[in-house]
Each structure stands twice: as structure tokens, then as C-alpha cells.
Chains A and B, each alone.
Chain A
Amino acid sequence: MFLQQIINGIVVGSVYALTAMGATLVYGIMRILDISNAGAYAIGAYVSFFFLMQTGSPIVALVAGVTLTAAFGFLVQKFLYAPLMNKSPNVSLIAGIGLFIFLQDFLRLVAGPQARELNFGTLLPSIQFPSLQLTLYGTWFLILGATAVLLFILWYLLNRSPIGLAWRATAQDLETAKAMGINTNRVVAFNFILGYGFAAVAGILVGILYNAVYPTMGDVPAYKMLAVIVLGGLGNPLGTVLAALVIGMAETLIGGYIGFFLPRDAIAFVVLILILLWRPQGLLGRRRTS
């Protein structure tokens, strides 16, 4: 049973990692907490659902969901966040929250408040190991596989490709990067496209995992992902993955063994606060110099 819980924790953590990656990338470049990313999560799931209903093809649904949401990210950055870049961070925060609230209710009005199934039809088989009291669900493989692939792609992009170099330069110091001839606008746009694309994938995977797509599905991710990225050290993708696993594991083990002494979603914040008391810069953040 312990092994079951551990693997369960890793799966939960992987979902959190994917969900939080979008906001991590946005923060890395723009130093803003993007809550509307959770709106992208829900939109990705809904667009996917729509295309699945229309075409019956999971591939089309997946591709449509990710690309359309990514395109949406481009628009959001261009028309909302870019003009606000040199204003106080509170401003973009509230703008992001406003957009998120708007998107959620938009989905409710367009698609109805009832939950819809996201059935990709592929009945992924589960594998049982009765001797180890272990059941590995098909969907778990899907999630772990998708996470591994996507994180690898991200790592490759950021560390081994020219655009990754441009990204890291821009993240470190936008003005200098611009002075060095990097097209920072393009980097920022690319960043958002990627970030929203990640959120869409996360939303679709969660929709498949729980067979439910509903307008408020972005609620919990909206704030829990903030806890994850802050715990990770803000803007550091590796930190995010680590933090996501820590929180996913904590929630699962507490739920399975002690029982929730506090609601599950508060646990992420308890972990955050405790760790920040010990390391104010987060798990992998840089200590502030002043």
C-alpha cells in the first residue's frame, strides 16, 4: 500500500508540475504572478472537449486544445500584460485575476455549469500487482509519460536551443538582453505561448483523469499553483517540479495515512509557510542580496 501511495503522490505532483509550469515561465520573464494561467487550464480542457464532440478524434481535440489556448496566451500577453509591464505588480496581478474571473463565467455561460465528460475513448488498461498490493492505472502512465516528455522538451528548449538562450538572457535582465540585440518582444511572446500551452495540456490531462470538465475547474489550480511556484523559488522550472512533487506527496501521504487534519488545499500552503520560515527564498530560489 505504501508503494501505491508513493506513486500516487508522484502522479499528483506531476499534474501540479505541469499546471504550474505556465505560471513559472511567465514569472521567469515578466516577474508577475499570472493567475489567468488557470483560466487557460480550463479553456484548454473545454476547447478539447468541444473538438472531441465535433470530430470524435482525440488527436484533433488535443492539438486544437493546446494550439488554440497557446494562441490565446499570445493575445493576452500582447493586449493585456505587455502594456502593463512597467506598472506596479499589483496591477498585473489584479488584471490577471479579473481575466480569470471573466473566463470562468464565460465558460459557464457558453457551456453551462454542469460538468461534462472528457472521454478520450482510449481505455488505458491498468496493471495490477496483487502481491505488492499495487494497482497502476492506465491514466497514470499517460500523465507520467506526458509530464516526462513535456519537461524534457522544456529542458531542451531552455538549455540547448538558441531561443532558450535568449529566454534565459531576457529573464536575467531584459534591458541588457535588448541591448545585446535579442528580440525581447519575441521572447516574451514565445514565453506566453509556451506557458499557456502547458496550462492547456495540464487541463486536458486532468479532464481525462477525472472524466470531468467544468467551469470552475481552474479554481483550485489558480491559487495552489502559486504556492507551488513560490515554494520552488519563483521562476525556476526545476524548483517548480521539485515543489510540485513535495506538495503532491505531502497531500497524498497525509490523506492516506493521517487523514486530512486540515482541508487538502490548505496543506500546500502549510508546507509553503513552514518551508519559507526556514528558507525564505524557497527551495531553489536565490537568496536576495540586500
Chain B
Amino acid sequence: MRNKFSLILLAFVLSLALVVAGCGGGAGDKKPAAESKAPVKIGFFAPVTGPAAADGDSVTKAAKLAVEKINKTGGINGRQVELVAYDDNLKPQEAVSIAQKLTTKDGVVAAVSGSYSHTTRAAAPIFENAKIPMIAAYALHPDITKGGDYVFRQSFVGTAQGKAGAFVAINMLKAKTVAILNVDNDFGTTLADSFAQYFESKGGKVVSRDKFTMVEKEFNPVLTKIKQLKPDLIYMPTYSGTGAQIARQAKELNLGIQMLGTEGIDSTMEFLKVSGDSANGIIITTNLNRDSKLKATQDFIKDYTAMAKHAPDMVAASTYDCFMVLAEAMRKNGPEPEKIKDGIYKIKDFEAATGIIKGYNKLGEVTKNVQVQVVKNGAFTYYGEITDAVIITPPDK
């Protein structure tokens, strides 16, 4: 009989739930091994499936490359690093489940987020509560690091990069008027806002602000509008898919206006290849200087290109560095969560793929020079570097 079946089912579910509720507040099944030859586990989550799969693929490759490199160069004082990676399908609810699993069942001593802002934002408090350090590779939401001492960020916080962009606009590109065209999520909005603020504080004028969704393809209407306004510069904080379309359609329209982008379009496959020669001349603020003399940078580019058969992008570089920073902290301070956290704060002038990491402030935000690259002949090349402390120092509360 129908009702009997559903009754039994519900009873089963309820009893399961009560059993689970009964074991609340436990410290977890597996504590990280304190002193042994057991592998050191680092947790990782990224959007491998779902709308951000391209970035998810990129960062996963970088994570694997990093762990391989760490293990090849002696591991953590003899112990191997093991990568515990999960796919969050770009859903915050998944990220929460994954964070719970990593911190209570998998025995990781630290974690890296290779995911976007909302997923990382949802997962951050769990790492904080579990006192397990987590570095966000490129998620920009300002609240991510505000939760406490255990959450760090590897990429420039939105305000720093936006200011850097404005600095480039005023000092390097001599622009007096700018049209802002940004993707309408926290990434695009925070960058656009901080750009506008700094730009206007130095006397510049923002002549228009337009936004669009992440999946937009049709930019002719808005570019036609901007063409009429004749600004000196277009500032476009967005991602590769949309950035490539803006570049192409601007060229078709014969727009003739200098374009300034951000690390969001720092991608060979998704941006440079799709835009073709319409990308030439575009300048971006980013963290990967392809022409850098640093060994860490060149080695990373070489290794990643060999592994992935295409050049690395910003998200891969940031993710790679998260692991390198963790390895450094573990080697110098010890592979326990508390020691790793302290170790990260102690990092000073560490050479990494994304430049010299000056350190992390008390909020967990990174301080490093902002790279400025220009697209020449279909590749990113050095254009400049911003070292001004006023610009690159992130907020500490």
C-alpha cells in the first residue's frame, strides 16, 4: 500500500537524520598526522563542471603541476604532498559540503580555492571555524578574507587592482576621459568602482558606465554608443569570453579607442585565440609577467606549457603560487594547520610565478607588484609594473 511505503521511507530518513544530529560537534574522524612519513594533504576545489569549466580545467592543471613540483623538490621535509581535489560545479552549496568534507573527513592541513567568488565566500567560514588555513587563488569578493585569520587571498584584492588600472590610465596612458564597461558581478563591479574612484580623484572623468552579463555576446549596441562619446580610454573589467567579443567587435566598428583590461582576460586560449589580431594593443593589469626575469616565473610558464600544451593564464598562475606559498610555509614552519597559518603571515619577499610576494597583511591580503602587460603579435608582453605602495597595498580591515 502506498502510504506504508512512504511511511517506512520517512522513518528511515528521520532515524538517519537523528543519528547524524546526535553526533554533532565532533572533532572529525581523521586528524592530520602530526609527525610521521604520511603524506601531507592539501585540499582543493574548483569549478571543473558547469559554466566555469574552462577556468576549472586551467586551475586543476596548475594544482597538479604545483604538487608535482613540490614533491620533485624534496616534498615537505621528506614527506610527499597529496592533492585532495573536488569539483564544486560552481555552486556555493557544493562548496560548503566540500569544505566540510575537507576539514572533517579528509584530514587536510590546508586548502586552496581555485573557484570563483561566491563559492569561496560560502566555504571560507568553514575553514575559519575549523582553523585550517585556506588561500583563495583568484576569488575577489572582499568579504572572503574578513572572516578571520585563517583565510588568505593570493590575487590582488579588487580595490588594489582597480586603483592600479586607474594609475595606468592616468600615468602611462595619459587618459583624461574613460568609458567603463564591466561584467556585472562582484569581480567587475568592485574593479569598476575602485577604478572610477581613483580616476576621478585625480581629475579624470568617467563619461559612461555600462554593464553586461557573463554570457553576453552582442556588444555592438553599447560600443556604438561609446564611439559617439569619444573617450580616451575604455576600461573593461571582465572575463575572457566577453572580453574577446568586445575586442573583436570594437575592431569591426573601427572604434580606435585604447582599451584597458584586467586579469580576467589574461588567458591565451579563451581570450587571445578567440579575438585574434583584434586583441593587439590591449593593455591589462595582471599578475603574470611573461617577460619576467624571475626563475620561478619562467620555470612555471615552461612547465605548464609543456603539460597543458598551451600557455598558462592568470588563474593557473595564481593557483600554482598558492601551493608554492603553502609549501614554503610548511617547510619553514611545519605542516600543521596552526603552524602553516603562522608561516604564511611570516612570508616576506617570496619569489613566485606571479612575482615577488612581499607578504600578507593582517587581513590575509597579498601585497605584490601589479604587472601591466600589452598584447603584441598575439601574445602578452611586458608593458610596465606598478610598485607604488599607495596603490598596491591592500586594505587591512
- Indicate with 1 or 0, residue by residue over A113-148, a CB within 8 angstroms of chain B CB atoms: 111010000000010100000010100000000000
Provide the bound-state CA to CA distance between A4 and B223, in Å: 11
**CB contact under 8 A between A115 and B270, given known A105-B49, A263-B213:** yes
Bound CA span A121–B301, Å: 31
Report which residue of A114, A137, A214 has the largest number of chain B beta carbons within 10 angstroms of its beta carbon: A114
B56 interface residue per 8 A CB criterion: yes
Judge whether B225 and A260 touch: CB under 8 Å.
no
Q: B241, A212: Cβ atoms under 8 Å?
A: yes
Please tell me if B224 contacts chain A, counting CB pairs below 8 Å. yes
Residue in A closest to B220 when the chains form the complex, CB atoms: A8
A4-B54 contact, Cβ under 8 Å, with A211-B274, A265-B213: no
Partner of A256, one of B216, B221, B276: B221
User: Is the pair B215, A8 in contact by a Cβ cutoff of 8 Å?
Assistant: no
- List CB contacts (< 8 Å) of B203-248 with chain A: 210-213, 215-218, 220-222, 224-225, 228, 240-241, 244-245, 248
Contact of B212 among A113, A220, A264 (CB under 8 A): A264
Report whether A112 and B57 are in contact in the complex, using a CB–CB cutoff of 8 Å: yes
Determine whether B184 belongs to the interface, using a CB cutoff of 8 Å to chain A: yes
Determine how close the nearest CB of chain A comes to the CB of B80; give it in whole angstroms. 29
Q: A216: shortest Cβ distance to chain B, in Å? A: 6
Q: How far is A206 from B240 in the complex, measured between Cα atoms in Å?
A: 18
**Which residues of the other chain, A, contact B270 by a CB distance below 8 angstroms?**
114-115
- Which residue of chain A has its CB nearest to the CB of B271? A115
Q: Which residues of B contact A211 (CB under 8 A)?
A: 244, 248, 274-276
B13 interface residue (CB < 8 Å to A): no
User: Contact: B213 with A256, CB < 8 Å?
Assistant: no
Number of B interface residues at 8 Å Cβ cutoff, please give it. 35
Provide the bound-state CA to CA distance between A79 and B217, in Å.
35
Q: Answer yes or no: A210 CB below 8 A from chain B CBs.
A: yes
User: Is B171 an interface residue when CB atoms closer than 8 A count as contact?
Assistant: no
B122 shortest CB reach to chain A, Å? 22
Chain A residue at minimum C-beta to C-beta distance from B269: A114
Tell me if A256 and B215 are in contact (CB < 8 A).
no
Cα–Cα, bound, A215→B218 (Å): 19
Say yes or no for A184: interface residue by CB 8 A criterion: no
Cβ-defined contact, A264 with B252, below 8 A: no
- Does chain B have a CB within 8 A of A58? no
B239-286 contacts to A (CB < 8 Å)? 240-241, 244-245, 248, 252-254, 269-270, 273-276
What B residues does A210 contact at CB under 8 A?
217, 245, 248
Nearest CB of chain B from residue A223's CB, rounded to whole Å: 12
Contact A264 B54 (CB under 8 A): no
- Give every chain B residue within 8 A of A260 (Cβ-Cβ): 210-213
A240 to B183, CA, bound (A): 30
Q: Is the beta-carbon distance between B252 and A255 smaller than 8 angstroms?
A: no
User: Contact at A256–B225, with CB atoms within 8 Å?
Assistant: yes
Which residues of A in the span 152-203 have a Cβ within 8 Å of any Cβ on B? none
Q: How far is the CB of A127 from chain B (nearest CB, A)?
A: 12
Find residues 216-238 in chain A having any chain B CB closer than 8 Å to their own CB. Answer: 216, 219-220
How far, in angstroms, from A108 to B57 measured CA to CA in the complex?
A: 11
Contact of A251 with B274 in the complex, beta carbons under 8 Å = no
A104 to chain B, nearest CB (A): 10
A252 within 8 A of B: yes
CB < 8 Å neighbour of A135 from B57, B184, B211, B253: B253
Residue B28 is within 8 A (CB to CB) of chain A in the complex:
no
Chain B residues 329 to 351 lying within 8 A of chain A, measured CB to CB, are none
- Interface status of A42 (Cβ within 8 A of chain B): no
B20-59 CB contacts (< 8 Å) to partner A? 49, 51, 53-54, 56-57
Can you spell out 15 A-B residue pairs with CB atoms less than 8 angstroms apart? A5-B221, A8-B220, A105-B49, A114-B57, A117-B274, A211-B275, A212-B245, A215-B53, A219-B51, A252-B218, A252-B220, A255-B222, A259-B211, A260-B213, A265-B213
Chain B interface (Cβ within 8 Å of chain A)? 49, 51, 53-54, 56-57, 184, 210-213, 215-218, 220-222, 224-225, 228, 240-241, 244-245, 248, 252-254, 269-270, 273-276
Which 4 residue pairs of A and B lie closest in terms of their CB atoms, listed nearest first?
A: A256-B221, A113-B53, A255-B221, A114-B269
